[in-house]
């Protein structure tokens, strides 16, 4: 087993006028869950398609499970599983028939395919509905069957392209649980997502991608740290109080950056270096001035804020669209 389950360098891909990838670099250590995070059109799916041998890169090279995706695609295909954006299960066949079909196409033989289907149905909690067609399933169940279909050969690397897009919260939790179990079992997982809580929850490392380039690569915690420390949020009861609250917050926070006011949610928010004393100070001042508030709190920045902050920075640095 090579040190990196996935290694890609200088991947470029152009579709007519759009530059989908502009020199992407990836190094995914074996046994980790790695997230490709970015807005729609950032190049995440193109990257996965190249790594899964579905599409050829215009430039650059990539190795998956120790084999070159361009010259050794047969070897790569025996070592990967892919769960694409659409749920690729046959709605007319039963769940078991789906898995047996995929098993036969993975060349493990019909008897082994049957046995493997039963194991996977059990592992993904679908044993009770094995003989029902997936069109009668919930979104989460369909996606779990989809995941099971890409786990026939217990792949070295599992690629998941937006595994929870379009699922309800219960479905997302189910799929998260399934992915977490696979990762705990030692499967290297590469997933794309534009849900930051998903990356936060599942990934060991995250590469933020925008316009086909790496913007930053870090742990989810590290990403959040990058945009500063804590924030103090004050929610007003009366929109008229917002300017005065902002003034109080700026004075207490004593940072160069001014607080931000969101009139829609009546929230004033400021980044602070040392949260608790500022929070106490703000509370005291508001009481002295007699300004009523509906909420007052200290929180860590969300990954969403980190994401917007980072991709906005990348956009500012230059347009890469051709």
CB-based contacts of 317, cutoff 8 Å, min separation 6: none
Letter string b/e over residues 225-242, b meaning 16 or more CB atoms within 10 A of that residue's CB: eebbebbbbbbbeeeebb
Least distance in angstroms from the C-beta of 81 to other proteins: 8
Spatial distance between the Cα atoms of 49 and 30, rounded to a whole number of angstroms = 19
Q: Which of residues 104-133 bind other proteins (CB under 8 A)?
A: 104-108, 112, 115-116, 119, 123, 133
From candidates 127, 153, 298, 320, binder to other proteins by CB under 8 A: 153
- Contact range with other proteins by CB under 8 A, out of 144-152, 187-195, 248-256, 283-291: 144-152
Least CB distance to other proteins at residue 72 (A): 10
Q: Which is nearer to other proteins, 17 or 317 (CB)?
A: 17
Instruction: Identify which range of 34-42, 90-98, 217-225, 236-244 contacts other proteins by CB under 8 A.
Output: 90-98
Residue 260: CB atoms within 10 Å: 14
- In the bound state with other proteins, the residue whose beta carbon lies nearer, of 133 and 180, is 133
Which H or E run includes 248?
A: helix 242-253
Which residue from 93, 296, 308, 320 is in contact with other proteins, where contact means CB under 8 A? 93
The residue within the footprint of other proteins, chosen from 5, 24, 33, 52 (CB under 8 A), is: 52
> Which residues, 6 or more positions from 148, have their beta carbon under 8 angstroms from its beta carbon?
99, 120, 121, 123, 124, 126
The answer to whether residue 71 forms part of the interface with other proteins (CB under 8 A) is no
Is residue 312 involved in binding other proteins (CB under 8 A)?
A: no
What's the closest the beta carbon of residue 77 comes to other proteins, in angstroms? 5
The piece of 76-84, 137-145, 213-221, 308-316 that touches other proteins (CB under 8 A) is 76-84
Q: Would you give the distance in Å from CA 69 to the centre of its chain?
A: 23
Task: Determine the angle formed by the axes of helices 275-289 and 242-253, rounding to 10 degrees.
Answer: 140
- Does position 102 interact with other proteins (CB under 8 A)? The reply is yes
H/E/C letters for each residue in 107-145?
Answer: CCCHHHHHHHHHHHHHHCCCHHHCCCCHHHCCHHHHHHH
Enumerate binding residues for other proteins (CB under 8 A).
49, 52-56, 74-75, 77-82, 84-88, 90, 92-93, 97, 101-102, 104-108, 112, 115-116, 119, 123, 133, 149-150, 152-154, 159
């Amino acid at each position: 087993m090579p040190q990196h389950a996935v290694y890609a360098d200088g991947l470029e891909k152009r579709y007519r006028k759009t530059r989908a990838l502009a020199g992407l670099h990836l190094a995914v250590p074996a046994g980790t869950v790695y997230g490709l995070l970015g807005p729609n059109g950032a190049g995440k799916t193109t990257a996965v398609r190249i790594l899964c041998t579905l599409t050829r890169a215009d430039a650059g090279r990539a190795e998956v499970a120790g084999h070159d995706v361009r010259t050794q695609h047969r070897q790569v295909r025996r070592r990967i599983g892919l769960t694409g954006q659409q749920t690729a299960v046959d709605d007319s066949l039963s769940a078991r028939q789906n898995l047996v079909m995929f098993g036969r196409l993975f060349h493990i033989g019909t008897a082994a395919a049957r046995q493997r289907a039963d194991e996977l149905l059990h592992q993904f909690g679908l044993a009770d509905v094995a003989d029902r067609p997936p069109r009668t399933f919930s979104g989460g169940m369909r996606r779990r069957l989809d995941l099971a279909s890409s786990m026939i050969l217990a792949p070295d690397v599992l690629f998941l392209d937006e595994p929870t897009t379009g699922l309800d919260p219960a479905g997302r939790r189910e799929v998260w649980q399934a992915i977490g179990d696979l990762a705990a079992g030692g499967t290297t997982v590469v997933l794309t997502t534009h849900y930051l809580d998903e990356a936060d929850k599942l990934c060991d490392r995250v590469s933020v991608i925008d316009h086909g380039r790496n913007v930053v690569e870090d742990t989810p915690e590290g990403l959040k740290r990058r945009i500063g420390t804590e924030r103090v949020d004050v929610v007003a009861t009366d929109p008229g109080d917002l300017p005065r609250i902002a003034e109080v917050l700026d004075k207490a926070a004593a940072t160069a950056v001014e607080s931000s006011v969101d009139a829609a949610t009546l929230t004033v928010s400021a980044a602070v270096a040392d949260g608790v004393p500022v929070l106490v100070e703000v509370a005291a001042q508001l009481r002295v001035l007699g300004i009523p508030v509906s909420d007052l709190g200290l929180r860590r920045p969300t990954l969403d804020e980190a994401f917007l902050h980072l991709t906005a920075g990348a956009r500012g640095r230059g347009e890469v669209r051709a």
